[in-house]
Structure 1
């Protein structure tokens, strides 16, 4: 098992465990590794430190939110040059997040600018910066993730990224509240080369109106060969990250999906997306 999406302390919101304890828990649970994600900090250095004392692979990356000026090639260059493997387009400071009244730093710090970020077709002015970021990710054969961008932006990004040589693409939990992408559209985009659709335990436990049956239907429509399962755990009221990902596999298997294929979705497929 390999968890492509986990949150740990230190963070601006409460987390169940810190980096060291999360990674130790994965090792004790027999996982091969994980990707540490933070909305407001590069996790590259944290991943390298956390991996030093455990026999698992730990990778980091950056989410392009307000702390780095949004869709900022300089932030991406610094992250990738330091060994980062994942670049997430805007998440907590995406315009979709604000429209859905979901948490962001400026939502809790009213002394900060409420500025949000977008890419084409929502914000054509960011096109060149987004293209530059795609080229940078392609140069290191890294993973480009769509973050919380809207469906039209995700379409533009996947098409543009492929044209510019990106070989690893992840639709970040497209069935979540943001972007709320229908399964048929996710399946269409995942049909392209190197593109995978993420489904998370966080959706199962915390997304309003979400059920195991709906997640199973979404996964079936996309096709398990194009699905990666992640925990997106780390919240104090979620299970430990390894247990959270195991729970997702178990729940989807009880809905009739093939357990062996599901374990690949939570293991070899996500790991292959980040291993250099």
Structure 2
């Protein structure tokens, strides 16, 4: 391809990225070794014309970082964060969720690194998952279910708090079987915004599971990191095309899930995925829907 052709594609990608939103930005400070910090991620997003950025950390609520950064570094990018219900937050802890909602969190993730499903896969099946920079205490395995296999009272209370706050319920690393139970109950309790994180990685969703979750009102968030070069690539363009067909663009969210040292920066991941979508002949309208508009609805920006 000629240099002119490359420049034309770069310009097309740059134009499509205007107004994009990353709901899964793994910048630091963090226990994980990160390639960039929240400030650098903000500057990248602002340069590219992003509309919003949502910082995710497995161990802490990042809302205060967002408030201070927006004040100290004025840009057109809105900054958000939320809370992951891992051991560091007391697990599936209604008190932690209550505080997060009241301080302005936009999302609560069900257990990720502390999920029993995550631990079982990481230890029992040889799954490779990034390690913290320093050794942490061994995780206590978490589930949304009680000893009888029903949703725990704490999980139900968390769902009520999320519904009352009208924020996003994200599935974290719970298995598909649990997520379907959780999201079904969440809908009954008035949760309006539901997001399934990387449904085909760790969560283990089949096509039927993904369709069932969409029927319950969920969006499927696919991690850009798993499709791009240098990001721990697991899937290719054919899988991306298939996953979009399963849920439809109107229920698909593409977020970076990038920031780990050795991986591309989140912005570079977005550039690669948009180029991949163009190669797949996905329309600009559908690209905007998946990299920005659906996330905007979840954040009440529409």
In structure 1, the residue matched to 2:222 is 199
In structure 2, the residue matched to 1:190 is 214
Q: What do residues 3-27 of structure 1 show as CA deviations (whole Å, max 9, x unaligned)?
A: 1110111001111111111111101
Instruction: Identify unmatched segments of 5+ residues in structure 1.
Output: none
Larger Rg: 2
In structure 2, the residue matched to 1:109 is 135
1:135 equivalent among 160, 163, 186: 160
Distance of 2:131 and 2:63 partners within structure 1: 21
Distance of 1:239 and 1:60 partners within structure 2: 21
| 2:28 pairs with 1:2 | no
Moved more, 99-108 or 140-149: 99-108
2:82 equivalent among 61, 65, 80: 61
| 2:182 pairs with 1:157 | yes
Tell whether the 8 Å contact from 1:97 to 1:103 is kept in structure 2 after alignment: no
Q: What do residues 147-175 of structure 1 show as CA deviations (whole Å, max 9, x unaligned)?
A: 00001110011101000000000011101
Instruction: Give 1:185 shift.
Output: 1.6
In structure 1, the residue matched to 2:63 is 44
Tell whether the 8 Å contact from 1:27 to 1:55 is kept in structure 2 after alignment: yes
Q: What do residues 200-250 of structure 1 show as CA deviations (whole Å, max 9, x unaligned)?
A: 111114456421211221111111111011011112222221221232122
CA RMSD of aligned residues (A): 2.1
Distance of 1:220 and 1:43 partners within structure 2: 33
CA distance 1:28–1:106, change in 2 (3 Å) = closer
CA distance 1:231–1:183, change in 2 (3 Å) = same
Give me the TM-score of the superposition, normalised by structure 2.
0.84
CA distance 1:230–1:72, change in 2 (3 Å) = same
CA distance 1:259–1:142, change in 2 (3 Å) = same
- Tell me, what secondary structure is at the counterpart of 1:166? coil
CA distance 1:85–1:190, change in 2 (3 Å) = same
CA distance 1:122–1:180, change in 2 (3 Å) = farther
| 2:198 pairs with 1:179 | no
Instruction: Give 1:67 shift.
Output: 0.3
2:96 equivalent among 75, 87, 93: 75
Distance of 2:224 and 2:132 partners within structure 1: 26
In structure 1, the residue matched to 2:120 is 99
Instruction: Give 1:120 shift.
Output: 2.4
Q: How many residues align?
A: 273
Give me the TM-score of the superposition, normalised by structure 1.
0.92
Tell whether the 8 Å contact from 2:87 to 2:139 is kept in structure 1 after alignment: no
| 2:188 pairs with 1:167 | no
- Tell me, what secondary structure is at the counterpart of 1:267? helix
Tell whether the 8 Å contact from 1:86 to 1:142 is kept in structure 2 after alignment: yes
